[in-house]
Copies of this chain bind each other. A is one copy, B any other.
Amino acid sequence: MRIEISGVDGLPEVKLGDDIASLIASHIQLESGDVVVVAQKIVSKAEGQVRELAAIEPSAYALELALRLEAKTDPRIVEVILSESVRVVRSERVLITQTKHGFVSANAGVDHSNVPGEDMVTVLPADPDASADALRSRLRELTGLDVGVIVSDTFGRPWRLGIVNVALGVAGVQALLDLRGQRDDDGKELRASVVAVGDELAAAAGLVMGKTRRIPAVVIRGLKQEGPHGRGRDIVRPSAEDLFK
């Protein structure tokens, strides 16, 4: 088994209303079965998921939180993070929240980098699975091909340093591969073996995307799909199972 990961080179800066699927299809030759991984940042820009800081009035709570954080953070950005969140998980040193979608991450995915102008931030797509669906449908319309789509972002982890790319939205490809009940190579039943294929695909794409390379879209070829298509929301652990609130 062999998988190839190719960056989509030469994409222009994405702006509000841009047809990302068309940009991708005109910059790389797709094949049926490919998985296209797209950085949340360009999806958010195309969808207008951008906030102008000049229009934000930080609340007293946002002002207080901003003072507690290790990295100097604009209280208006803290306000945007709070407005994207349903719960503050930790606010010592770093601000970790649960977003409206259920994602637990630093800064609710609100990002200041790779956004034109000093005064703009992106927020996550309102519904990353729907964004992935729309990209997949549009790619099929343009190319006639059946490709999977993942909308990804980089998340930190509580016990490991560094960020890794994960799958927020998934369409037309597996999200979780449930191997429970299957046998291992020695014939023993596998336990606790649900593999987050969506996140492994996003992480693999992350190797090519980088942060400074202007490659916000990546094509993964050669994945053998072994189960039904899933959604990004399938990978979110339900709150009732959260042992680290």
Contact = CB atoms under 8 A, between A and B. Distances in A.
The 9 closest A-B pairs by CB, nearest first: A162-B196, A203-B203, A204-B204, A104-B159, A113-B184, A3-B5, A200-B203, A158-B244, A2-B6
Nearest to A158: B244
A236 B2 CA distance: 30
B244 A159 contact: yes
A174 to B, nearest CB: 10
Contacts of A182: 211-212
A158 B238 CA distance: 10
A185 B212 contact: yes
Nearest to A219: B2
Interface string A1-22: 1111111000001000000000
A161 B237 contact: yes
Contacts of A196: 157, 160-164
B207 A197 contact: yes
Given A94-B243, A161-B196, A195-B210, 5 more contacts: A160-B236, A185-B214, A193-B211, A200-B207, A203-B204
A211 B194 CA distance: 10
Interface of A: 1-7, 13, 71, 90, 92-94, 96, 98, 103-104, 106-107, 112-116, 118, 154, 156-166, 176-177, 179, 182-186, 188, 190-197, 199-201, 203-204, 206-208, 210-215, 223, 226, 234-237, 241-244
16 contacts: A3-B207, A5-B5, A71-B191, A107-B192, A113-B190, A114-B188, A159-B242, A160-B237, A161-B194, A162-B176, A162-B196, A163-B193, A165-B200, A190-B211, A201-B207, A244-B244
Nearest to A113: B184
Contacts of A193: 113, 163, 211
